Amino acid sequence: MKIIVTEKAPGAIGPYSQGYETNGLVITSGQLPVDPATGAMPEGIAAQAEWSCKNVGAILEAGGVGFDKVIKTTCFLADMADFAAFNEVYAKYFTSKPARSCVAVKDLPKGALCEIEAIAEK
């Protein structure tokens, strides 16, 4: 096992890692829509989905893979009314159409509108 760490994605805000590489897989922690350079979170689901995708991509890259190797994602939305707008952004990044779960949750850390985690094949 190898812990994945990159400055191109937000640092963990709790007792966890950005990601792990193990048994031929790269597994990311859930990524909030936070700009790692500023710590700021944009407004609106489209802008937030964009940052969540970028942050997942940075961890995948640090683990030596890209979006094309993602086999499973789990997506969390603060409001299922954002589903269509979220999907529009998500589809630009996850073009290989990995298996996915997408659920609405009561709250996300920092008041985020979305969070994405991914599992990729090395």
**Which residue numbers are catalytic?**
102
Strand pairing report for 25-28 and 99-104: unpaired
Give the span between the Cα atoms of 51 and 58, in whole angstroms. Answer: 10
Cα distances (angstroms) measured from residue 78 to each of 24, 32, 68, 86, 104: 32, 12, 27, 11, 6
Looking up tokens 């936070």 gives 34
Distance CA 93, CA 59 (A): 14
Contact yes or no for 55/81 (Cβ under 8 A): no
